[in-house]
Structure 1
Amino acid sequence: MKWFEIALVVLTLGSGLVLLLDKLFLAKRRAAKASLLDSEEPVVVDYSRAFFPVLAVVLILRSFIAEPYKIPSSSMMPNLLIGDFILVNKFSYGFRLPVTNTKVIPVSEPERGDVVVFQFPGHPGQPEDPQIGENFIKRVIGLPGDHISFHGDAVSINGQPVSYEVKGEYLFDGKQTGQTLLTENLPGRTHTVLEQLGVADPRGQGEWEVPQGHYLVMGDNRDNSDDGRFWGVLPEQNLRGKAFLIWLNCSGWFCKNSFEPSRIGNRIQ
């Protein structure tokens, strides 16, 4: 949530500034007046001294090390489920400034098959799209310079069809979903996807040239994902990090609605 990130930065900088001003000016004034007046430390300084270290540590960890996210939709099933709480490696693709997401130190670039969190760039022709800037999660299919096609139920990369293995009907909570579970063998990376075989959505069909500095991303739940097939390629500067771990799955306050311990600690493939 971007508002939380902004609030965290403002509170950290604000409390730090209060402590700096106190050290440079206010503390000296209180010391000078100690013999005449009550020199008790102001409340705002007291609170800043208590909260600044905590805020600073949270800001550093969240901005440069790992950030938690909650999966809100089914677009990455069967690998990520609604209610999964995940951790995202914030330095995989370079150190970026909070709020602006500006890269300041490059580290590496996404690889095909990576599951990435990014700021949604928006649908073409919808400049007022309310989801612009919100965090999305998808899988990298196309790298810079690639020609990607998606026809029927299959991906082709630079003219080479990706191979698939049918694993059987996908069941969720023991119930039939009408979808088929397949293994998708991307070059250098194998993972599972869901398809309604023989029921291809014509809106998701097409071919894309991936320019330099961009990526084509898709959801693993191919028939239920708003991804690059519909809004185009993803600019590199929108990347937030690489998803790598599920640390919890639950819903409701204190997990009162559901709790799935088998999801805890699963690595994101």
Structure 2
Amino acid sequence: MSKRAKAAGGGLLELIKTLVYALVLAGIIRTLLFQPFWIPSGSMKDTLLIGDFLFVNKFAYGYSAMSCPSYKSFNLCGAFEDKEGRLLGSMPERGDVVVFRHPATGEDYIKRLIGLPGDTVETRGGRVILNGEPVPQDPAGSFTETYLAQGPMGSFPRCLRDGPVGLGGECSKEKFTETLPGGKSYSVLNIDDTPADDKGPFTVPEGHFFFMGDNRDNSVDSRFSPAANGVGFVPYRNLIGRADRIIFSSAGASILYFWTWRGDRFFKAVN
């Protein structure tokens, strides 16, 4: 074999080794540190918009079998799915925006933590009642967006009480500032009077949590059981991580459509 052939073979081997090392490093980072997450729906508006891209802080709550990357029904840690508990576990705080594994479908969801173990949660007239006390809501004007298809799925936003809005028109929702016990404040939206405005009371079991979307009339969350195509109570082991910061945001059907980028959301903290 010529020296040139040996050099070419050695170069190919080094390239393969570099790619393997890169993949292993990426897998370790994704499993233990940060997981990328695209926002596919409007259930967390206006905190998170369709097309926001963020990294989920996976060491915020420690690690369980759900911390491994998964694709639909496939989980790299599938052999450990029946194991309870968490490694280096810590409790989330009320008001955290959390990515978790759906208890029934295994899909990744992102919602806000409202109820801790032992809490009683209900909604009355669209207001959250937590342990018998209404959670304060203060009017904060409105949230307005353009009535156009959003994201790769091309979904259209819902507008206040389904008022007639044409393509390119203004689509508004009522906006409030909600403040949880402990002082955590964030925006919530109201679109219409819906059955979800009056749900519960629910008592959160030990080792479980109660989640809601900030866009209250457009969120499938713990107010609905998995049997009713909802989320129900989420076990501690199903928590994947905390959403801390938006890295990038695009309103279009593709990340390549640079004219749809939302420059004001780059590196924005998640409240």
TM-score range, shorter chain: 0.7 to 0.9
Contact 1:143–1:214 (8 Å) recurs in 2: yes
Contact 1:118–1:135 (8 Å) recurs in 2: yes
- What's the offset of the Cα at 1:67? 1.3
Give the whole-Å Cα distance in 1 for the aligned partners of 2:209 and 2:26.
30
Higher helix residue share: 1
Equivalent of 2:261, from 250, 255, 259?
259
Equivalent of 1:222, from 216, 220, 224?
216
Contact 2:196–2:217 (8 Å) recurs in 1: no
Contact 1:87–1:247 (8 Å) recurs in 2: yes
Larger mean CA deviation between 203-212 and 43-52 belongs to 43-52
- Root-mean-square deviation (CA, aligned residues, Å) is 2.5
Contact 2:125–2:198 (8 Å) recurs in 1: no
2:136 aligned with 1:163 = yes
Contact 2:122–2:198 (8 Å) recurs in 1: no
In structure 2, runs of 5+ residues without a counterpart are 1-5, 69-75, 148-168, 226-231
Equivalent of 1:53, from 13, 21, 26?
21
Contact 1:170–1:176 (8 Å) recurs in 2: no
- Higher RCO (CA 8 Å, separation ≥ 6 residues): 2
In structure 1, runs of 5+ residues without a counterpart are 1-37, 123-131
Contact 1:204–1:230 (8 Å) recurs in 2: no
Give the letter for the 2:179 counterpart: N
Quote the residue 2:93 is aligned against.
111
What fraction of aligned residue pairs are identical, expressed as a percent? 37
- Number of residue pairs matched? 222
The 5 Å alignment of 1:120-135 reads: 120-122=102-104, 132-135=105-108
Contact 1:116–1:241 (8 Å) recurs in 2: yes
Corresponding residue SS for 2:256: helix
The 5 Å alignment of 1:18-37 reads: none
Superposition TM-score, scaled by structure 1 size:
0.75
Contact 1:204–1:229 (8 Å) recurs in 2: no
- What's the offset of the Cα at 1:256? 4.0
**CA deviation profile, 1:76-96 (whole Å, cap 9, x unmatched):** 001100000011100000034
Quote the residue 1:210 is aligned against.
204
